[in-house]
Amino acid sequence: MPDPTPLSTVISELIQKKGLARVQGNAQLVGIWKSVVGEKVSGRTKVLGLKRGVLQVGVDNSALMNELASFQKVGFLRTFQKEHSERKITDIRFKLRSDLNLKEN
C-alpha cells in the first residue's frame, strides 16, 4: 500500500487545479494597477492577467489605448518595477476590449 499523501500536497494541487491562486493573484494585480495608474485610468481599463512577466490590460477605447501605449506606458512600467519589483513585470500590453465590464473593476 502506498504512503498517504500529505494534506498540504493535496491542498496545493487542488488550489492549482481550480485556478484559485491565479484568481487571488489577479485580484492583487487589480489593486496594484489602481495604485500605479490612479482612479481615472483604472476606471477605463481592466487587468486581464499576467503572462510571462507581461501585464495584460484591456482598454475600452482606441484613443485611450494609444495614449497609454504611447505616452504613459514607460512611466507605469517604471513604477511597477520600482514599487512592485516582486511581481517581475517586464512589459505592459494594452488590448482594445470594447466588451469590458468596467463596473466590477
37-83 pLDDT per residue, tens:
999 999 999 999 888 999 999 999 999 999 999 999 999 999 999 99
Q: Which residue has the cell 468596467?
A: 102
Residue 45 inside a domain? The answer is: yes
Residue 1 inside a domain? The answer is: no
Residue 58 inside a domain? The answer is: yes
| 91-105 pLDDT per residue, tens | 999 999 888 776 554
More confident site: 11 or 66: 66
Q: 98: closest CA among 64, 61, 67, 70?
A: 61
**Domain membership of residue 99 as a residue range:** 7-104
Phi-psi region of 16 (alpha: psi -120 to 50; beta: other; left: phi over 0): alpha
Q: 30: closest CA among 45, 10, 15, 51?
A: 45
User: Degrees (nearest 5) of the Cα angle 42, 101, 83?
Assistant: 25
Over range 15-21, report the average pLDDT.
52
Residue 2 inside a domain? The answer is: no
Residue 73 inside a domain? The answer is: yes
Residue 94 inside a domain? The answer is: yes
Number of compact structural domains in the chain: 1
Give me the CATH number covering residue 70. 3.30.300.180
